[in-house]
């Protein structure tokens, strides 16, 4: 590592705090879902993306791109969601081995129940602790760390 590539003490502190806070917030949201007798947060992410895709569903590679799960993780997760009746796999007409994944009505209901707790967690853990201006600043700063930049 060259001298120029070394992170500053401020960058190290920011990184460490970002990692710790991110992990703590996710754990607390996961705990709230668990206490509510609901599946893990990863399930919500997949159900959300499939619901947003509409009746056409998504191909597995599209779901991987949208959720940033590894292929082997998404395959196992989809198998579990299918076994629980939350998603269905449909054949792709022009691709004999291809599949489209679509959320079922049970999956939409599970997502709705999860959001009631997950959304409340977001408000309690973040929204209630920062002003609107502070939330906008945090969002803008974190947006600058994304690569490639996106509009979200």
Q: What's the pLDDT at 146?
A: 81
The mean per-residue pLDDT over the stretch 65-83 comes to 91
**pLDDT > 70 in the chain, percent:** 93
Residue 128 confidence (pLDDT) above 60: yes
* Mean pLDDT for the stretch of residues 120-135: 97
Nearest-angstrom CA–CA distance, 50 and 66: 10
pLDDT at 22 over 90: yes
Global pTM value: 0.84
Average pLDDT over residues 73-85: 95
pLDDT tens digits for range 90-114: 988 777 678 999 999 999 999 999 9
Phi-psi region of 20 (alpha: psi -120 to 50; beta: other; left: phi over 0): alpha
Size of the chain in residues: 152
């Amino acid at each position: 590592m060259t001298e120029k590539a070394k992170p500053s003490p401020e960058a190290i502190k920011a990184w460490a705090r970002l990692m710790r806070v991110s992990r703590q917030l996710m754990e607390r949201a996961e705990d709230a879902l668990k206490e509510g007798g609901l599946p893990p947060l990863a399930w919500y992410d997949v159900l959300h993306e499939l619901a947003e895709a509409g009746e056409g569903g998504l191909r597995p590679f599209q779901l991987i791109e949208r959720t940033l799960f590894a292929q082997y993780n998404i395959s196992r997760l989809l198998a579990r969601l299918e076994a629980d009746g939350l998603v269905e796999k449909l054949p792709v007409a022009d691709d004999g081995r291809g599949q489209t994944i679509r959320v079922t009505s049970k999956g939409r209901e599970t997502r709705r129940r999860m959001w009631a707790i997950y959304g409340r967690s977001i408000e309690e853990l973040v929204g209630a602790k920062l002003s609107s201006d502070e939330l906008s600043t945090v969002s803008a700063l974190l947006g600058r760390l994304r690569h490639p930049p996106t509009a979200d």
